[in-house]
Chains A and B, each alone.
Chain A
Amino acid sequence: MEEKIKPTKIIDARGSFCPGPLMELIKAYKSAKLNDIISVYSTDSGTKRDASAWIKKSNNELIGVFEHEGYYEIVMKKTKG
């Protein structure tokens, strides 16, 4: 991800299968503060769509989905308490 965005919390869910990474993200979201930035690493392809959809539907901000070697990163900002 871009260097100027510093995640408040990083969840390394690589190797975890659907729905594991999304569940981890929601848990982190619930304990996060408003405007916290949460980043999830995942190797599970279903999570890319599922987590992005959840972030939008829950009225939070999807900062982006970034491809890395062997995994990708979904970054969100908690904009809804």
Chain B
Amino acid sequence: MTDKMSIIAFSGTEDKLMAAAIIASGAVANDLEVQIFVTFWGLTRTIKNDKTPPDLSFDGQKMKDKVFALMKQKKVPNWITMLKNAKEVGNIKVYGCAMFADLLEMKKEDLDPIVDDIIGVNEFVSLSKDSMTFFI
């Protein structure tokens, strides 16, 4: 039985990143090791001091104002806080995609400390062997 979960966080919208953080939380609750590969728009949401406001994916656009207002009112933590909490419970590693980081000329120190390292696709795929894998 697989005891690892791999998540490729490609999208940079808050809803999809929250989904990734929630699934990762469920995984560590079940003693799975988790590795998250943040790439493309997911990676852009880990850039330190980036003040771009969070957005929702296409399906959520019509409800955007309502959803963000409710989340604020109900004090729902953002995806990075959620992931930090899950990291305290189990083994979660967050890897930035080397290719996209290079393109944006970003180094590890330019990213939120939630990112443990920057690695290439080859290493991530090799770490993902025998794991259940999600692309979000």
Chain A residues within 8 Å of B, Cβ to Cβ? 15, 17-20, 22-23, 26-27, 30, 50, 54, 57
**Contact for B86 among A15, A23, A50, CB less than 8 A:** A23
CB-nearest residue of chain B relative to A51?
A: B29
Q: Which B residues lie at the A interface, using CB under 8 A?
A: 22, 25-26, 28-30, 74-77, 82, 85-86, 88-90
CA distance A27 to B86 in the complex (A): 9
CA distance A20 to B81 in the complex (A): 10
Most buried by B among A18, A20, A22: A20
Contacts of A22 in B (CB 8 A): 25, 29
CA distance A15 to B75 in the complex (A): 8
A interface majority secondary structure: helix
**Choice from A15, A17, A27, A50 contacting B89 with Cβ under 8 Å:** A27
Please determine whether B29 and A20 come into contact, CB atoms closer than 8 angstroms: no
- 6 A-B interface contacts by CB (under 8 A): A15-B75, A19-B29, A23-B29, A26-B90, A27-B88, A27-B89
Contacts of A57 in B (CB 8 A): 30
Given the complex, which residues of A lie within 8 Å of B25, measured CB to CB?
19, 22-23
Residues on the B chain within 8 Å of A15, using CB: 74-75
